[in-house]
Amino acid sequence: MEIFLQFFLSGVTVGAIYALIALGFNIVYNTTSILNLAQGEFVVLGGLFMWLFFQKMELPYYISFFLTLLTAGIFAFLMERLTIKPLLKTGDPLLLILITIAFSILLKGLLMFIFGKDPYGYPPLLEGMPILLGGAVIQKQVLVILAFILLTMIFLYFFFNKTILGKAMKACAFDQVAAQLMGINISRMVMLSFVLSGIFAALAGILITPITFMEYDRGAILTIKAFTASILGGLGSIWGAIAGGFILGIAENLVAGYIHSGLKDAISLVLLLIMLLLKPAGLFQKEEEVRLKKL
Amino acid sequence: MKNFLNPYLGSFFLCSALILIGILSGDPYLMTVLTFAGLNALSALSLSLLMGLAGQISLGHNGFYGLGAYLSAIFFLHLKIPVILSILLSAGIASLFSIFLAIPALRLKGHYLAVATLAFGEIVYLLLNEWGPGGPSGFGNIPRISLGSFVLSSSQAYLILIWSLFFIFFVFSLNLSKSTYGKTLKALHNSEIALKTLGINLFTLKLKIFALSAFITALSGALYAHYVTFLSPATFSVFYSILILMMVMIGGLHNLWGAILGALFITFLPEILRVFKEYDILIYGTILTLGLLFFRKGLVYPFERLIYGSYSGSKKSQ
């Protein structure tokens, strides 16, 4: 039982990370139906710039925190204006996916140019001994991550359901023409969704770097995991992203613990395939809702 | 000049020119890069058939590439099947696996199909990592291609073999796209519902094109195994799929010629960028980004305009 609990809690730790990245992923998908495969690079950017401001320049934690989010926002803004905006008119989803891959390579190159190839880390927000929970160990930073996920969820819920801006962004996903007829500036909404998702990705980076360290080429694998989590929960669904992240993290750790560590990644993919074949809309979305959005 | 525009003659001249450049230069490095470009061109061609012609997305071709390479090597090393047979057999068996892509393709489109195929490629990659000979570090001592006592060993021979095979498959693909079957595939690209109303079995149609595409990619993988003589799973990760997808898109999706141009461009680019040392990833990413932004119809488009005038982009591919 203790062993199970330990696997489970490790799963929660990893799952929380996946969930946070998947959230940002879904914000962009929700507004634009674009898969932003540069998401992982923004996580790396968050971790590395936090190290720069916090460790290298020795700024206070909160100032470095906001400076990092600001940097990520600026990069996301530039990405959207320079690469997405010119191609959005073409409406070719493949081209739009590929341009995000191309940009992610560019960003990776830039990060390597600035920070080199070394892994970086810094002390977590809450220092001290890990907490013992019924014989299993959980790091304090995980609690910080969970708290931030909760805050993010509350923020996103209110943003997308209660504010005009959020509702306008949602409208763009369902029907761009109708949204435009209602006087919504589509281009601005797309830009905003990229900035928001860049900021959330950087937030994930800031939070996980104390646990896992961060180096320039970690982005791609994080993107794939977050992507899997999003699909499991249903692309575009905020609750789904969080649930998908946790399911993925826990399943991975249970398989690694009880069956075989090499199959850790395979289980997520098998889950993904089953999901796609049985219920492509994901666990938490209705088929009709998805059909309304452009696929 | 008119004959030169004929895609059959044109591709013949291009393939011969590439072989000649490689051999006449006598530079082993250039020959290696050209040979890799040929292997990539084969894979890109298979993806171009699948995506450009039939409109189906795949991010799982690394799986076929890996299956082709590993199966062919294992067939020879453990079952002692002659190399040429093992190459064909492995490509054939790998193409049977395309059923795992054709089934999702029946229900899924766009992003979702991309993800399902990506999952297939990743699973193959993980299995190779876990149960492939040598595990993550791979294995060597794979024999060169041989027929009886004649062993294909020089790099010139591989350059000739691979680009000749590419030429054969290119001609085959050109003919395919002109055939009734090719036109049915184009219809699949444009409207599945229309095809259904005409009573066409979508499953066998999709299965066939996935199997063909998988066969060509697996063949390319098997040739890779016997050319490099060393395999490790890292070569067959999802990044290979993204790489050939990039070739097809940069080259031009609507035209089979895009596969050659894209493969040459994407294979040579990192080699040329070596001179920039640490900056290479940055410059590589910038060039890809700019390429997708400013050559939306692919590198092939300026040539099409040059040859056919400004109105026609599709004439050559039809």
Encode pLDDT of A233-285 as tens digits: 888 788 888 899 999 999 988 988 888 877 777 777 887 788 777 777 777 77
What is the rounded distance in angstroms from the CA atom of residue A248 to the CA atom of residue B314? Answer: 44
- Best of B292, B295, B296 to disrupt the A interface (most A CBs within 10 Å) is B292
pLDDT confidence bin for B317, thresholds 50/70/90:
very low
What is the rounded distance in angstroms from the CA atom of residue A192 to the CA atom of residue A28? Answer: 9
Encode pLDDT of B63-76 as tens digits: 999 999 999 999 88
Tokens representing residue A257 in the block: 């613990």
| Model pTM score | 0.85
A254: which DSSP letter?
Answer: H
Domain A2-292 of CATH type 1.10.3470: yes
As a whole number of Å, the CA-based R_g of chain B is 19
Q: How many CB atoms lie within 10 A of CB A241?
A: 34
pLDDT confidence bin for B172, thresholds 50/70/90:
very high
The reply to whether residue B129 touches residue A262, judged by beta carbons under 8 angstroms, is: yes
Mean pLDDT of B283-290: 88
Q: According to the per-residue pLDDT averaged within each range, which of A98-107, B40-49, B185-194, B249-258 is highest? A: B40-49
B281 contact A CB<8A: yes
A107 contact B CB<8A: yes
The reply to whether residue B285 touches residue A106, judged by beta carbons under 8 angstroms, is: yes
Mean pLDDT of A132-141: 79
Q: Is the pLDDT of residue A92 over 80?
A: no
pLDDT of residue B309: 67
What is the rounded distance in angstroms from the CA atom of residue A151 to the CA atom of residue A23? Answer: 12
What is the rounded distance in angstroms from the CA atom of residue B36 to the CA atom of residue B38? Answer: 5
Could you tell me if A32 and A83 are in contact, meaning their C-beta atoms sit under 8 angstroms apart?
A: no
Q: Is the pLDDT of residue A291 over 80?
A: no
Q: Which of residues 180-209 of B touch A (CB under 8 A)?
A: none
Could you tell me if A251 and A268 are in contact, meaning their C-beta atoms sit under 8 angstroms apart?
A: yes
DSSP B237-280: SHHHHHHHHHHHHHH-TTSTHHHHHHHHHHHHHHHHHGGGGGGH
The domains of chain A are located at: 2-292
B134 contact A CB<8A: no
Could you tell me if B65 and B121 are in contact, meaning their C-beta atoms sit under 8 angstroms apart?
A: no
Encode pLDDT of B8-34 as tens digits: 888 888 888 888 888 888 888 999 999
Percent of chain B whose pLDDT exceeds 90: 32
Mean pLDDT of B35-43: 95
What are the φ/ψ torsions at residue A131 (nearest 5 degrees)?
-90, 140
Question: Which residue on chain B is closest to A234 by alpha carbon?
Answer: B112
Question: Per-residue b/e over B202-236, b at no fewer than 16 CB within 10 Å?
Answer: eeebbbbbbbbbbbbbbbbbbbbbbbbeebbbebb
pLDDT of residue B94: 92
Q: Chain B residues with CB inside 8 Å of A261's CB? A: none
The reply to whether residue B249 touches residue A95, judged by beta carbons under 8 angstroms, is: yes
A280 contact B CB<8A: yes
Could you tell me if A230 and A240 are in contact, meaning their C-beta atoms sit under 8 angstroms apart?
A: yes
User: What ipTM is given for this predicted complex?
Assistant: 0.81
The reply to whether residue B282 touches residue A113, judged by beta carbons under 8 angstroms, is: yes
What count of CB pairs under 8 Å joins A to B?
117
pLDDT of residue B260: 92
pLDDT of residue B312: 46
The reply to whether residue B288 touches residue A106, judged by beta carbons under 8 angstroms, is: yes
Mean pLDDT of B109-125: 83
What is the rounded distance in angstroms from the CA atom of residue B216 to the CA atom of residue B88? Answer: 10
Q: Report how far apart, in Å, the C-alpha atoms of B181 and of each of B170, B189, B200, B313 are.
A: 16, 13, 11, 22
Q: Is the dihedral of CA B160, B161, B163, B169 positive or negative?
A: positive
Q: According to the per-residue pLDDT averaged within each range, which of B88-92, B102-106, B142-146, B281-285 is highest? A: B88-92
pLDDT confidence bin for B313, thresholds 50/70/90:
very low
Mean pLDDT of B92-96: 93
A221 contact B CB<8A: no
Q: Is the pLDDT of residue B44 over 70?
A: yes
Cβ-nearest to A94 among B57, B129, B280: B57
B284 contact A CB<8A: yes
pLDDT of residue B314: 46
Gap from B25 CA to chain A (nearest CA, Å): 33
Tokens representing residue B191 in the block: 């409207």
Percent of chain A whose pLDDT exceeds 70: 96
pLDDT confidence bin for A192, thresholds 50/70/90:
very high
Q: Report how far apart, in Å, the C-alpha atoms of B134 and of each of B90, B131, B212, B234 are.
A: 19, 8, 30, 12
